[in-house]
Structure 1
Amino acid sequence: MKAAGLVLAAALVVGAGTAGWAYWRLDDNITGVDIDNALGDNRPAKAVATSAPAVSASPPPTEAMNILVLGSDSRSGAKNQELGGGDSTGARSDTAMVVHVDAGRTAATVVSIPRDTLVTRPACPLPGGGSTSAAYGAMFNTAYSVGGPVCAVKTVESITGVRMDHYVEVDFSGFAGLVDALGGVTVTTDEDIDDDDSHLHLRAGVHRLDGAHALALARTRHGIGDGSDLGRIGLQHKLVKALLEQIAATDLLTHPVRLYAVADAVTGSLTTDTGLDSLSELTELGRSLKGLSADHVRTITMPVVAAPSDPNRVVAREPAASALWKSLR
């Protein structure tokens, strides 16, 4: 969705290069959170490096990379309020995806975690000191609500056993702005969508969507399938692929005005860990992903089943969920 598309598509845009006069503004747009320092060393191990080909003059990275990408429903700011984010006093992780990029940066797996998944939420450090309380049978998206990015990362690492090398968060206005700056995205829907909550009404077929309508598609759940979060995730996966394909089809280097608009949209609503909170670091990531195409991005959902305690919630389906996460370590 909006989140994984930001990493796997928008980082490629930033990596394409920006005019020197615009560098400071774009760099200043990004908000950084020191997640590594907050969590310390009690975390899953980092990916083990593989041997780089000796024949390559510029060998690719030798380690796989995992990025937790969140879409926030914050209503902070007039644009987010207009697009229908969360209340002004807080936000939830509306969408969560673990993006696993292979060591050669030529293939990726995007795993969505349903926000209604019941999990054990660990105690998380708070910025002002102290910590949140551990919670059992808590909805997954409450981690962000009670402890922000740090707790979101810690919770994902706790339930997956996978080290998150980076964190990327984008809000509603950032995603809509990115789509508009790209000139829209083309998405094929397999069924009619009638969702009064997201204000989206589409017939099955091919659609060219602007930012507001792409965001509505990403948020739709009641107008498709059984109305659960799983149907919405399927639409979000379509948007990830659509963003990648639009990036590939848009020659941004020959359109500097559009390039700047895209880069400004990407960075303007972006929160990252401190390893990605500068334009130079995002550019390095983007360049490393230049060989990644939509055809080599696999989108899946963490295996789940209905929760025994509540049919409106889900829990991880074992042993399939554990096997999936093990494959990404």
Structure 2
Amino acid sequence: MGSHKAGQARGGSRRGAAGAPPAGRRGHGRLRLVLAVPVALLVLAAAGLGWVYFQLNGDIRTFDDGGISGERPAASAKGQNVLVIGSDSRAGDNVQYGHGSGDIGRSDTAFLMHVHADHKHATAVSLPRDTLVDVPPCKLPNGDWTRTQHNVMFNSAFSVGDTAQGNPACTQNTVEKLTGLRVDHTVVVDFAGFAKMTRAVGGVQVCVPKDIYEGDLNPNRHARGERLFTKGVQQVSGQKALDYVRIRHGIGDGSDIGRIQRQQAFIGALMKKVKQQGLNPTTLLPLAKAATSSLTVDPGLGSADKLISFAMSMKSVDLHNTKFVTLPWRYEGARVAIVRPQADALFAALRADRTVDGKDAGGKQEPDRPAPPRPSAAPPPGAGVAVAVYNGTTTEGLAARAADSLKAGGYRVTGTATAATQDFVHTVIEYGPGDRTHADTLARRFPGALLRPAHAAGLTVILGSTYAQASTDAASTDTAPTDDAPATVPSEVAQKARSADADICSGLSYG
């Protein structure tokens, strides 16, 4: 699975739509589980069991990264982003798990883990499967590319192409378009893999609010069935662990949102269990074997040594500093709509490497030094820099307002116009050869902007709906947005954040 065909990036997006063709790479998985795999390999290698290393190395499966879009957020030194996808395909070994039928890969669970640059903090954002999103062009098994799909369920991206293994690249394209964050790695965990890994760690503690029966897990039974869980704290593994994280009906309001909260608690408990077991071959070898034979990862993690390098970079991430949040949402009929601008603010904070509690987690700080003297009359950052401005939204007069702001900052606006399409969500800044530094400075005026190289010289700004909303909000409060205002996680999101070391019975949705 390795043919990497980079798609041609559209040159002049000012003339085209916001989401476009090919090029790519992909993903990683559950933080402590994947960390445990390489640590186990190191311990075993030191013990002279090199044959185990090669056996595990051969078990690792990768997916073709040729379906990653060529129009991606720019790479950043501000942390790493790992997309974890739970697949509920009933194909292969998975046929013995779950309830239902069919061999088309579907995404039952997904979260984006941002590992901050200081390697001590991590923030995981759960993405509800029923969230209405735009799915950008995705590659089909025959090599063709789909057209952008508007206002469809998030989990439909994984099913594009109708294959048993699903379409991780399409889900990654969708997440990158939604968040403006570049996904560095993607990992897919299926039913069988999840069950194997929970058994390998000897089970995970969960908290159950009431007795749960088969009819709660599968309402189509039309009967109560046997009791699956007894009320209280208990340890689960294998099929029972899978039942717990998938159960939706019969607990609380029966929603996917409530299930997400229980899944976050389960992942935290799983991470805690792995850490408590310690680093020794007896406990880590079964987990390493289960993980490498069950996960599907992008080629960037497709060997034992790559996993080692990646996971060891995260060995200092602390359980208390690992926070779980959910994409800001509201119900829209039977579906889930994204609440803006809260969602945009959340992703802007992660792009700025801000933790849930507002800290700058940008890595080791330089020792205190005297501040260099500042010139008394420094020119503005944009002094003399030429910029063309295009309105990529349906908001009238947006380009003119942005142009006035840029002129006030010293930029030389060469013209304003309407873009060929008005469906841009994120603002896009195109820069020509040698203009990257100016583009970085310009991007500070447009929080959340995506940077895109272009063949033509100069800078072009294509305004998106997030900028239009920010301008409206600023006007309504009679305050102008400032370039230096730090991005922060919205308080309503931060207040509901869950730490990986939280009590397993706290903060769950029981209705």
Q: Deviations over 1:195-245 (max 9, x none)?
A: 625377434431111222111111011121211110110110011111111
CA distance, structure 2, for counterparts of residue 286 and residue 136 of structure 1: 36
Q: Is the CA contact 1:168–1:271 (under 8 Å) kept in the aligned structure 2?
A: yes
> Match for 1:7 among 11, 14, 30?
30
Aligned counterpart for 1:320 among listed residues 342, 345, 350: 342
Match of 2:307 among 259, 262, 282: 282
Contact 1:75 1:87 in 2 (8 A): yes
Partners of 2:28 and 2:236 in 1: CA distance: 15
* Range moving further from structure 2, 124-133 or 264-273: 124-133
1:72 to 60, 75, 87: 87
Q: Give structure 2 stretches of 5+ with no counterpart.
A: 1-26, 45-49, 162-166, 219-226, 352-511
Contact 1:105 1:292 (8 Å CA) reproduced: yes
RMSD: 2.1
Please name the residue that 2:199 is paired with. Answer: 180
Counterpart contact for 2:69–2:138, Cα < 8 Å: no
Shift in Å, 1:178? 0.6
Residue number in structure 2 paired with 1:154:
173
What residue identity is the alignment partner of 1:129? G
> What is the rounded CA distance, in whole Å, between the counterparts of 2:29 and 2:40 in structure 1?
16
The letter for the 1-side match of 2:172 is V
Name the % identity: 42
> Could you say which residue in structure 1 is the equivalent of 2:182?
163
Q: Structure 1 regions of 5+ residues with no counterpart?
A: 50-62
Within 5 A, what are the aligned runs for 1:12-91?
Answer: 12-18=35-41, 19=44, 20-35=50-65, 37-47=66-76, 49=77, 63-78=78-93, 80-84=94-98, 87-91=101-105
Q: Which residue of 1 aligns with 2:131?
A: 117
For 1:117-156, list aligned pairs within 5 A.
117-147=131-161, 148-156=167-175
Which has a greater percent of strand?
Answer: 1
How far apart are residue 5 of structure 1 and its match?
11
Alpha-carbon contact 2:98-2:243 (below 8 Å) kept: no
- Any conservation in 2 of the 1:184–1:210 contact (CA below 8 Å)? yes
1:231 aligns with 2:258: yes
Q: How does 1:200-219 map to 2 (within 5 A)?
A: 201-219=228-246
Distance 2:300 2:53 in 1: 18
Structure 1 pair 120/5, CA: closer, same or farther in 2 (3 Å)?
closer
Label 1:86 to 1:257 Cα distance change in 2 as closer, same or farther (>3 A): farther
Cα 1:321–1:174, aligned 2, differ >3 Å: closer, same or farther? same
Tell me, in whole angstroms, the C-alpha distance in 2 between the residues paired with 1:327 and 1:100: 11
Structure 1 pair 89/70, CA: closer, same or farther in 2 (3 Å)? same
Cα shift readout 1:250-294 (whole Å, capped 9, x = no counterpart): 1241xx243221111111111111111111111122212221232
SS of residue in 2 equivalent to 1:294: coil
- 2:185 touches 2:298 (CA, 8 Å); kept in 1? yes
The number of residues matched between the two structures is: 305
Alignment of 1:272-311 (within 5 A): 272-307=297-332, 311=333
Return the structure number with greater relative CO, CA threshold 8 A, min gap 6. Answer: 1
Q: Which has more helix, going by share of residues?
A: 1
Distance 1:221 1:275, change over 3 A: same
Q: 1:103 to 1:29 in 2, by over 3 A?
A: same
Native 8 Å contact 1:99 1:108 kept in 2: yes
Partners of 1:85 and 1:131 in 2: CA distance: 32
- Report the secondary structure of 2:300's partner residue: coil
Residue 136 of structure 2 contacts residue 147 of structure 2 at CA under 8 Å; is this kept in 1? yes
The question of whether the paired residues in 2 share the 8 Å contact of 1:72 and 1:92 is answered with yes
Distance of 1:262 and 1:74 partners within structure 2: 22
TM-score, scaled to structure 2: 0.57
| Counterpart contact for 2:82–2:186, Cα < 8 Å | yes
Q: Within 2, Cα distance between the matches of 1:172 and 1:86?
A: 13
Aligned-partner Cα distance in 2 for 1:5–1:296:
20
State the partner residue of 1:53: none
Corresponding residue number in structure 1 for 2:116: 102
Give 1:245-260 correspondences, 5 Å limit: 245-253=272-280, 256-260=281-285
Query: Which one is further off, 22-31 or 99-108?
Result: 22-31
